[in-house]
Amino acid sequence: MDGINEMLTEEDILLEGTKFDEIHAFKHEGLTNLLFPFSEDIKLNIGKLAIWRLASYETFGGTWLTDYVDNRLGGFEMSAFEKEIRRLDTFADTEISFEFQCNQTEGWPACLMWNRAEGKAWLAPNDCCGDNEQYYEKAMRACEEFGIRTCEIVNDFNEILDSLGDNAKECKIYEESEAPELS
């Protein structure tokens, strides 16, 4: 742990005198793996860490935990909600609203997803903003609490958006016959 902390400090990855003070070790496929959990009191230059991880891969075999779990351990266990939205979210049948912010996700950017074929809609956090994994997970739980709603027609979709607040209302979709007249 001291050696890794020293290397990361020399590379200006660990900042402001912070260091990893917790380490977890586990064995898998004959290798001892070390997990250095990020905490809020550790100041990191995450961009430099990503470059260092790639440059030192031959030496350390380092990877992000999410990649390791997905590629070596078969993935994280999903909730029933996550399994169902993964099943519903097929490109051919799913429409996606523009991104908006709402109280339901405590301001985390989200979209309303709609599988027209099955008449189901759900709220999904924008995973492109996943810099803060804990906050993203909190937004995902909020989406799970919102649930999967019945949504058979455009009016249902728009009513769900109305229920999510002013920012979401701006994302309504219209059938050609429903389009508002422009003045």
pLDDT at residue 179 greater than cutoff 50: no
Q: List alpha helices for 76-171, DSSP H.
A: 80-88, 133-146, 154-163, 166-169
- Output 53 or 180, whichever has higher pLDDT: 53
Q: Do residues 34 and 25 lie in contact, with contact meaning Cβ atoms separated by under 8 Å?
A: yes
Cα–Cα nearest to 90, from 110, 114, 70: 114
Strand 24-28, strand 31-35: pairing: antiparallel
Phi first, then psi: give them for residue 98, nearest 5 degrees.
-65, 160
Domain-wise residue ranges, the chain = 2-72, 80-178
Per the prediction, the chain carries an average pLDDT of 86
- What's this model's pTM, rounded to 2 decimal places? 0.57
What is residue 68's predicted lDDT score, i.e. its pLDDT?
Answer: 85
- Output 110 or 76, whichever has higher pLDDT: 110
pLDDT at residue 155 greater than cutoff 90: yes
The DSSP H or E segment spanning 19 is none
Q: Do residues 45 and 11 lie in contact, with contact meaning Cβ atoms separated by under 8 Å?
A: no
pLDDT digits (tens, 9 = 90+) for 84-111: 988 888 767 788 999 999 989 888 899 9
* Residue 144: other Cβ atoms inside 10 A: 17
